[in-house]
A and B are shown apart, each in its own frame.
Chain A
Amino acid sequence: MNQSNQLHHAIKIDPDKCRACTHCLKVCPTEAIRIRNGKATIIPGRCVDCGECHRACPYQAFYVEQDDLSRIFDYKYRVALFPAVLVSQFPENISEEQIYAVLKQIGFTHTCEVEQPISVLIDSIKDFVKNEYDGEGPIISSFCPATVRLIQVKYPALTDHLVLRNAPHDLAAWYVRMRLAEEGIDPSDAGIFYITPCAAKIAAVKSPVGEKKSIVDGIINMSEIYNRVMSNAPGTKGVLHSCDCRHEISSEGILWSLPEGEKVAFEGKSLSVDGMHNVIRILERLEDGDLPDIDFLELRACEEGCAGGIMMTGNRFLTADRQHKRAKTFPKAQSSSGMEEIAEKLRIAPVQPRPMVHLDTDMEKAFEKMQKARSIMCHLPGIDCGACGAPSCLALAEDMVRHEARMTDCIYIQQLWQKEGKISAEKAFRNLEKKWGENRFDVDCSKHGAKNDNGPGLMNEEEDANLY
């Protein structure tokens, strides 16, 4: 019944690295993480790929799936599609020319900034506002895929507010296809690879919202490119390749992924909100009918927009600052006339709600379970420590009525029951081991902050030994 299971997720957990430290539990905005058998696990129907867990993990146990860079050589022509934040995350001593040159060095034959054809999107959004949107209240940006998914899962009644237009990476992919065709390149010979600043965009590319299939052929992690540029750029003489239509790069395009970037496409009052928890607060208010008249609501899951994406290495504020400076050196976006064909591709079908199933799909059963959970809450301590493997006492109570957890998962209840003689110390400890793994309570000096903490780098004992 849980249709959200069909959604693709780009965030994964490496069980070998996970130490079930519960940092991720607490930061997940949809309570999608539980600790089971000593490892963090993600409930797929709840995850929106925002990456808060990835940020919070001290052991780098969360990773973002990507395609191997060598896969680009499956194609005769290899296109790097990348957002403007790629350029601005590098320190000033690395030039734009050098960054472009390293991309060519890696093996890309063509490069294209995703916001290059932004005028098409601006005009298309204006058209949507004028001729298509007939809802009440603000139009909500569909740029950030994590916030779109958040709305589908947690604020399903608000899906009608979303702009029914593709994100820039889709637009740019169509645009590149058009340019390649103009060069006489057979589409089957060309592979388009998107270099992503976040996990949500990967998820969106693999299972696009309101659209059948994405036209991007592969995904490359921003951090991988960051490393390549940092090691190779200094010795590189920068040459801006001539065929890449850089004359189309515009100041609006460069600023698009930052807070207030989309403002240019909207007349009237707009409000820009960045950061997952801020986004949640504003959506709650919108749902309550408690927002002043706003025509457009721009949402970004990451603070400072894509400059703060989880795959970004540079500091988000420095990146955003450089991006603003860079934008000033480029002209305003030109007219989109002549690109009507691409404009058509930007339309997407209405975004479907995917409300998460909380207690039961049957409302009457859900009702009973909720009453039960409320009774259970009377007994739980309300400390929200996470030692049960659920993010809060309430979440544990709900897991219990769904038969996914037990009273003894609560360490305080266990303690109480031991005192009352209801459970033996032996049994209580076995329960703990079941939850947290058998060797969890052994002395371990490699954990974070312990005397042999070697940082999050090599975790392989053999390799470590060779180094010393």
Chain B
Amino acid sequence: MKLNFQVEGGNFTKAGAASSEVKKVLKQLGVPPMIIRRIVVALYEAEVNIVAHARQGIISIDLYPDKVEIELRDKGPGIKDIPQAMQEGFSTASEEVRAMGFGAGMGLPNIKKNADKLHIESLVGEGTTVHITNYFAKP
């Protein structure tokens, strides 16, 4: 089953729409609560990343009976140095964005912590694609 969401860069008022929809669906499927929580936290962070950094993005979610595969593809600045961006506290967010409570440099590390599998591809000046896979039962 597939769920798609469009994400508008810079529109913080709508940030989190995809994750709350996905959360509802996972609850209905009866996925264990602690697993849902991990998925939602990872997805929410990744969704907010698009809003904070990119011009626009698409989130595609593939649901299977045993796992969820999430792809977040954006058109944006890209990430120059992915290993560096994965470090806690590293942030390129503007003061403005930080003042809203985003951009503390915990985003990617937090995604990594909550994703069973995480893969990031990025082209500077083009955009970033984040793949997150989580299993409903521990593999």
User: A and B: real partners?
Assistant: yes
Residue of B nearest to A359 (CB): B28
From B37, B110, B136, name the one whose CB has the most chain A CB atoms within 10 angstroms.
Answer: B37
Chain B residues with CB under 8 A of A107: none
Assess whether A367 is in contact with B101, with CB atoms less than 8 Å apart. Answer: no
**A289 and B25 within 8 A (CB):** no
Q: Identify which of B16-24, B80-88, B118-126 touches chain A.
A: B16-24
Contact A289 B31 (CB under 8 A): no
Q: Which residue of A lies closest to B137 (CB)?
A: A363
A355 to B65, Cβ gap below 8 A? no
Does A224 have its Cβ within 8 Å of any Cβ on chain B? Answer: no
Pair B16/A363 contact, Cβ less than 8 Å: no
Contact residues in A for B30 (Cβ distance below 8 Å): 355, 357-361, 363, 366
A to B contact number (C-beta, < 8 Å): 63
A288 within 8 A of B: yes
Q: Which of A157, A284, A370 has the most chain B CB within a 10 Å cutoff?
A: A157
Quote the shortest CB–CB distance from A402 to chain B (angstroms).
11
Task: Report A182 CB to chain B, min CB distance, Å.
Answer: 45
Chain A 259-297, CB-CB to B under 8 Å as 1, else 0, gives: 000000000000000000000000010011110100000
Cβ contact within 8 Å between B1 and A288: no
Asked if residues B28 and A287 are in contact (CB atoms below 8 Å), the reply is no
On chain B, the residues within 8 Å of A290 by CB distance are: 16, 44
In the assembled complex, A398 has its CB within 8 A of some CB on chain B: yes
Residues of B within 8 A of A371 (CB): 1
B97 to chain A, nearest CB (A): 15
* A367-B33 contact given A289-B40, A289-B110, A374-B1, CB 8 Å threshold: no
Q: Is the CB of A366 within 8 A of B16?
A: no
Would A157 and B37 be within 8 Å (CB), given that A292-B101, A355-B30, A358-B27 are in contact? yes
Q: Given the known A-B contacts A287-B37, A288-B44, are A398 and B23 also in contact in the complex, defined by CB atoms under 8 Å?
A: no
Interface residues of A in 318-374 (CB under 8 A from B): 353, 355, 357-361, 363-364, 366-367, 370-371, 374
**Contact of B41 with A by CB under 8 A:** yes
A449→B136 CA distance, assembly (Å): 52
Is A437 located at the chain interface by the 8 A CB criterion? no
**Mask of B81-120 contacts with A, CB within 8 angstroms, 1/0:** 0000000000000000000010000000010000000000
Q: Are the CB atoms of A287 and B65 closer together than 8 Å?
A: no
Decide if A288 touches B16 in the complex (CB within 8 Å). yes
Which residues of chain A are near B19, meaning CB under 8 Å?
288
Q: In the bound complex, do residue A288 and residue B23 qualify as a contact, i.e. CB atoms below 8 Å apart?
A: yes
Residue A156 interfacial (CB < 8 Å):
yes
- A289 → B minimal CB distance (Å): 4
User: Is the CB–CB distance between A157 and B36 below 8 Å?
Assistant: yes
Residues of A within 8 Å of B65, CB to CB, are 363-364, 367
Instruction: List, sorted by A's number, 24 A–B pairs whose CB atoms are closer than 8 Å.
Output: A156-B33, A157-B34, A287-B37, A288-B16, A288-B19, A288-B20, A288-B23, A288-B40, A288-B41, A289-B45, A290-B16, A290-B44, A292-B101, A353-B33, A358-B28, A358-B29, A358-B30, A359-B28, A360-B30, A363-B65, A364-B65, A366-B30, A367-B64, A370-B29
| Across the A-B interface, the 3 shortest Cβ-Cβ residue pairs | A157-B33, A358-B28, A289-B41
